[in-house]
Each structure stands twice: as structure tokens, then as C-alpha cells.
Amino acid sequence: MAPWTTLLALSVAALCLGAEAASVTKTKCPVVPGKSPFDLNKFRGDWLLVAGSPDSLAARGKCGKYSASAGPGQDGLSLRFAGQGAAAGPGKAAAPLALDVISQAVAGDKVALSHAVYRKQGDADYEGVFKQSIVATDYDNYAVVVSCRQVYVASTKSFGRNLYAEIWSRNKVTLSPETIGVLKNILSSYDLDASEIKNVDRSKC
């Protein structure tokens, strides 16, 4: 299927899902399916972070790059993230940021829908478990990835969420504004406002 027809089909699907997601509150993680079928061998390699939700960009900073590899095991996917974290203060340079992400398929070997843990390089412990979904990808140009976990806020005695929603592109691939617009609409199907998904300025990366 040609890339433009694939994006058209995804856009139509996003409109249908958006109607279903309208009643979902922003304190709960949305139900996000993983791409099926999914080819891990084609997905491996480097991906650049080109757009993301507020939580994602706050945590990932600028100039983010993911390196995807298979494992651990037949049902695992490993990601190494490298980028520039948030600046420590006014006039201060952003510190380098590195993360390791290890995920395991929720069922069988379908790693497009997995449980994932994150650890900053140098830390001994991993963060709590996220549900991670590779929603869409054509392997050569773009990928849409959503990760979410429920959190308890003691001060308000209520539950909230950490939701990371991201658009990736392959290295040396520039996604057109039209393509990014379609991919943002896909993300907006999962209890997100499309206007909150911001492009990453990679001009100085």
C-alpha cells in the first residue's frame, strides 16, 4: 500500500476512534491498541522524536533519538533514548539525558503492545510499569508511540496519569506538515487534544 493511502486509512480510523474516546476522562490511561501485524525486524534502528505531548516533551527534552533493538527474549523490545534534558535554570545549558526502556509483550510475541519500564542512565531502579503501544508505523518514515501509567496523587487523594504520546521519524527523513497533521489526529483519538501535541525544533540538534 502506498504511503499516502496508508495515512488516509489511518486518518479515517482516527476519526472513528475519536468518537469512541470522547467520554474518556484525562485522569485515566486510554485503551490504545498496538499495530497488528507488526514486524520487529523492520522496526529496529534509529528513530528521531519530532513531536510529542506535554508530559513527553517535559520528560524527554530536545533532540531526542531512540535506538530500537530486539530483546530481551523473543517477546521483548529495547530502546535506548539519548537527548538533551531540560535546562537547570535560566542561562544554563541543558544536560545530556539518556534513558533505557525495556518492554515485554502483553500477550504472546506481539511487542507492539507491551509493558515497559524506564530507567535514567546511572540510576539503579526502573520507574513503575507503563503500558506502551506502537500504534502505527510504516517502518521507513514514521512511527506513533503511546505510553501511559496510572499514578496516585496523595495530596488530592485521586488518581492521575503519566501519558507520553510521540511521533517519531527515521533519521534523515523529514515528515511533511500534512503527514504530521494526520499523525497528530491519530494521537488525538486517544484522549489527547491535537493542539497540545507540539513539534520538536530539531534545527540545532
List, in order of start, the domains of the chain with CATH numbers.
3-199 (2.40.128.20)
Query: Which grid cell sits at 129?
Result: 510499569
Characterise 21 by phi-psi region: left (phi > 0), alpha (psi -120 to 50), beta (else): alpha
87 to 49, 80, 180, 191: CA distances (angstroms): 18, 21, 27, 29
pLDDT in tens, the chain (205 residues): 445 444 544 443 443 334 333 334 578 899 999 999 999 999 999 999 999 999 898 888 889 999 999 989 889 999 999 998 766 667 666 678 899 999 999 988 789 999 999 998 888 888 889 999 999 999 999 999 999 999 888 988 989 999 999 999 999 899 999 999 999 999 999 988 889 999 999 988 8
Based on its alpha-carbon atoms, the radius of gyration of the chain, rounded to whole angstroms, reads: 17
Are 49 and 166 contacting, i.e. CB atoms less than 8 angstroms apart?
yes
Residue labelled with grid coordinates 504520546: 165
Distance CA 70, CA 57 (A): 25
Closest CA to 10 of 172, 130, 188: 188
